[in-house]
Every structure is written in structure tokens, then in C-alpha cells.
Amino acid sequence: MVYNYILYIIARERKCGYMKVTLQNLTKVFPAKSKKAKDVIAVNDFDFVIEDGLLIGLLGPSGCGKSTALNLISGLQKPTSGKIFFGDDDVTNLPPENRGVGLVFQNYALYPHLTVLQNITFPLENRKGKDKLTKEVMVEMATEVAKLVQIDTLLDRKPAELSGGQQQRVAIARALVKKPKILLLDEPLSNLDARLRLQTREELRRIQKQTGITTIFVTHDQEEAMSISDMIVVMKEGVLHQIGKPQDVYENPIDLFVAKFLGTPPINVFDGYVKGGQLYIGDESVLDVSSIEDKEVDVAIRPEGFVVDENGRFTCNLNRIEVMGRDISVVASHEKSQNKDIRAIISAENMARLNQATVKFNLKPYKVYIFEKDSGKRIYF
């Protein structure tokens, strides 16, 4: 009861400090270090709003500019151009310590010689003048956040006496103790083993929901981002490709990069072409697409977009079947496939029909996406 009340108080206090984040033409260029090298545009004209109280997953492959984007928001790096607003305030020129952000990095960077309690109170120690806190108040505040991240029984230990997951919770508690308006997490789960990573990401989600702090969570792991984010921002080489609710982005990828980046197993991509209103893969016409003019295209099909059918229009070589409980994964191949293996997820009831060297599919049209060959842009039909 008392515990719930504390959470309620924290949530209520924090809700007053809910913060929307606006990025306006935000750009960061790292100039080339030599004549041969090129400038790197790590963040290229980011222009979007993060509504208050949401958890945003900033997602993209390694080197695409995620950390740079986060560092610009925290103030650790200065933008080349563009502006950042927290609420209505322009914070572009504010130093990081005046922005009211909490930061958590991949390597937890705890002080090894300090206890958990001292690590958490550390950011409160150097307050001056009227902001100075008494020891009792600091311990009270630290205990409150330690309860929130469920490490309140470990306060006397040193970091070396904690598991990786517990250390990361200390780092999160240390970021939360200042009651930040915005929480920024840079690949916070990457150092944890697979099970702890799953568990800790659920925890993060819970903590974010309970506190209501606007949170930006950076990861290269699409599954991680999809599972906990209210919105995801998919980026590549400094450029934002798509922003939206995870399910919407999954179901409606704007280009081939986004389609390929999201989904496990990954989407199946084929060389195809449109002729006379029919979509062809190899010499089979697999779908009616009357609104598209004749041209070569990339065809992407989600694993759940295949239906096994003896009269199906699309014939693939059947390599093997992997049973995963209720569903089975049909592993197939086709000379026009860009993936080595084609993976189709079908329900186990259809397994009886899979006893030949080939398998015939029909396609669910809403699970088939067609893209321009050169630009990768989606062609709608």
C-alpha cells in the first residue's frame, strides 16, 4: 500500500513536469578530418515532435546517428544547425546540466568505490545555496527511486557485488533521482544477457509508465524497440525514414529499408516485375496489381503473408519445415529471392500438405509490399 502510494506521489509530481520535445531542422555534421574523407551528416534535418509522456524508440543500424541525436537532445553535443525545444522553451544553447534530462548509457559507469546508495545520491550532492539538500532528504529521495527500480534491498552493496541487470537499475535510479523531465537511454540493455535484457526492458516500460517521464530509448534492436515503444523513429545514415506506432510502421513501411529492418523472421524480398496489371515473380503471376504500370520492382512479403494452397499461384522449392508449437515455419527457396532462405509462417494444420519438393502459395495482398527498384520507395496498389 505504502509502496503504491509512493509511486502515486512520484507519478503525480512528475506528471506536472511532463515534457514535449520538439526538434526543428536539427542537423549535426562532423567535418571530414582529411581531404580524402567526406563530411559525416550524423543527424540530417530532424524535424518532428515527441509528445509528452511517451516512450520513443530511436531505431537504426549501428553508425546511423542514434547516439548523436540523443547527445544533441541532452546537450552533450552542439547541433550544426536547427533547434531543440523542451515544452515551449528553446534549450538549444542550454548546457546539459540545466536541461533537466536524465541519462543512461550502455556501460553503466557507476563509481566502483561508492555504495549503491552513494551512487544514487551522487547527482544530488553538489547542489548549492537554496537547492542544497540535507543528508536525510537525499537518502529519502534515493530510497524512493531505488524502490521504483526494485533495488532498495541492495543499497549498501558496491557495484562489483551486483549483477549486470542490477547495475543497470542503479544507473537508471541515478538518472531518475534528479526528477528529470526527460529520460534519455542509449542502448541501455546491450550489456545484459538475453534473458535479463528481456526482463529489464519490461521493467523499463513499467517504470516509464509509472513515472510518465518522456523517454527516448536508443537501440539497434528492432524487436526491443517494437516491444516497448509508443512510437518508433526508424533512421538510416542520419536520415529519418519513418516515424509512427510500432504496429503501424510494421504494417505500413514507407520504403524497402524500413520493411527489411522490422520483423522477425525478416521480410522476404524478391526481384519481380509488373506486366499488364499482374505482379510476376519469375514466370509466375502471383498477384493482381492493376493500378501499377509495367516495370521491374522489388516485392517484399511478410512471413505471415503466405497461404499454402495446392492451387497456389507462387511455387517455391521446399527445403525444410521447422515446428514452433502452434505455428510452423516453412523454409523455402526461389531463384528470384534476395534472401537465402524464404520463411513462411503458417498454421500447423496445413502441415499435411507439405510432402513434396515444391510448395505452392497464395499471397495475402495486405502482406505484400512493392517497391521501386532504384529508390526503394513504396508503390501503393
**Binding residues for Mg ion (CB under 5 A):** 67
Residue selected from 42, 149, 279, 289 as contacting ligand ADP according to rule CB under 6 A:
42
Interface with ligand ADP, residue 225, by CB under 6 A: no
Q: Which of residues 4-33 bind ligand ADP (CB under 6 A)?
A: 30
Task: Out of 67, 119, 211, 222, point to the residue binding ligand ADP (CB under 6 A).
Answer: 67
CA dist., res. 8 & res. 124, Å (int): 22
Closest residue (Cβ) to Mg ion?
A: 67
29: number of CA atoms within 13 Å, CB side?
10
**DSSP notation for 76-133:** SS--SEEEEEETTEE-TTS-GGGTTEEEE-SS----TTS-HHHHHHHHHHT--GGG--
Identify what 64 binds: Mg ion, ligand ADP, none; CB under 5 to 8 Å per kind: ligand ADP
Cα 259–chain centre separation: 14
Which one, 67 or 214, has the nearer CB to Mg ion?
67
Question: What is the closest distance, in whole angstroms, from the C-beta atom of residue 42 to ligand ADP in the complex?
Answer: 4
Contact between 241 and ligand ADP per CB under 6 A: no
Binding mask 68-107 for ligand ADP (x = CB under 6 A): x---------------------------------------
Instruction: Give whole-number Cα distances, 251 to 39, 239, 257, 315, in Å.
Output: 35, 21, 14, 25
C-alpha closest to that of 270 among 381, 363, 151? 363
Nearest approach, Cβ of residue 3 and ligand ADP (Å): 36
63 contacts which partner out of ligand ADP, Mg ion, none, CB within 5 to 8 A by kind? ligand ADP
Q: Of the two residues 168 and 337, which places its CB atom closer to Mg ion in the complex?
A: 168
C-alpha cell at 106: 550502455
Total binding residues for ligand ADP by CB under 6 A? 11
CB 289 within 8 A of CB 369: no
Q: Which of 10, 56, 64, 259 binds ligand ADP (CB under 6 A)?
A: 64
- Contact between 159 and ligand ADP by CB under 6 A: the answer reads no
Q: What's the CA gap between 307 and 56, in Å, rounded?
A: 34
How far is residue 33 CA from its own chain's centroid? 31
**Closer Cβ to Mg ion, 65 or 303, answer by number:** 65
221 or 271, CB closer to ligand ADP?
221
Q: Is 56 in the site for ligand ADP (CB under 6 A)?
A: no
Burial class (CB in 10 A: 0-12, 13-18, 19+), 129: exposed
Q: For ligand ADP, give the closer residue by CB, 80 or 278.
A: 80
Nearest to 119 by CA among 153, 146, 147, 150: 146
Which listed option, Mg ion, ligand ADP, none, makes contact with residue 40 (CB within 5 to 8 Å by class)?
ligand ADP
SS3 252: coil
- Residue 66 engages ligand ADP in binding (rule: CB under 6 A): yes
Which of 241, 214, 194, 371 minimizes the C-alpha distance to 300? Answer: 371
The residues that touch ligand ADP, with contacts defined as CB under 6 A, are 30, 40, 42, 60, 62-68
